[in-house]
Amino acid sequence: MIKAVIFDCFGVLVGRGFDDTYSYAGGDPEADREFIHDILAQASRGLISQIDFREAIAAKLNISLEDWNKAVAACEQVNEELIAQIKRIKPHYKTAILSNVNSGVLQRKIQPEILDKYFDVIVESAEVGFMKPDTQIYLHTAKQLGVRADECIFIDDNRWFVEAATSVGMHGIVYENFAQMKRELTEVLSNKS
């Protein structure tokens, strides 16, 4: 029986993912893959501050911090359709956000009243000391929700992160777009509830 639905932030709840923002700002995510991986890992583990993260990206792209911030603002909009869907399921299921992010990023991206009203648990990798796809983070999130892993659905735009979640018993959905996710979520909830 499903008791909880866990959502990734970037590429699901907010924006279309880091690569999209990086491209929008003039970068080539494929050419800079190693840099992106390293800088995101440092930020997600809380090893660098959010301002240091943003300054490093701007420097790599040879743009001003202001221009990077404009790209972020343009690309990282809240997925209002998904928030409406969460509002519909919230009375019946516990909900959480699980994201590889630096401390406090989610609170700056999503209005506090949305976070407080629609999410029971928020797990930021930098706060807990491990990040997706480490299986500990999925188990930690389920524990924080007060449910077993097999009672959770995990939704992320990264296939490897979904596979890691399913390896601990969670049901997984790879987010491609809202309509596809809604269809798959409805199917899993109707079959497992």
pLDDT digits (tens, 9 = 90+) for 128-149: 999 999 999 999 999 999 999 9
Distance CA(118)–CA(133), nearest Å, equals 24
Measured distance between the N- and C-terminal CA atoms of the chain, rounded to whole angstroms: 5
**Residue 32 burial (CB < 10 Å; 0-12/13-18/19+)?**
middle
DSSP 8-state secondary structure symbol assigned to residue 151: G
Q: Specify the pTM.
A: 0.88
pLDDT digits (tens, 9 = 90+) for 50-77: 899 999 999 999 999 999 999 998 988 8
The whole-number pLDDT of residue 155 equals 99
Cite the beta strand spans of the chain per DSSP E: 4-7, 94-99, 121-124, 152-156, 171-174
Up-side HSE of residue 188: CA atoms within 13 Å toward CB?
23
The whole-number pLDDT of residue 63 equals 98
Pairing of strands 152-156, 121-124: unpaired
The whole-number pLDDT of residue 17 equals 80
Distance CA(130)–CA(124), nearest Å, equals 9
Q: Which CATH superfamily is domain 4-15+77-192 in?
A: HAD superfamily/HAD-like (3.40.50.1000)
pLDDT in single tens digits along all 193 residues of the chain = 999 999 999 999 998 788 999 999 999 999 999 999 999 999 988 899 989 999 999 999 999 999 999 999 898 889 999 999 999 999 999 999 999 998 888 888 888 899 999 999 999 999 999 999 999 999 999 999 999 999 999 999 999 999 999 999 999 999 999 999 999 999 999 987 6
Distance CA(120)–CA(176), nearest Å, equals 24
The whole-number pLDDT of residue 193 equals 63
Distance CA(40)–CA(18), nearest Å, equals 9
Q: What is the domain partition of the chain in residue ranges?
A: 4-15+77-192, 18-75
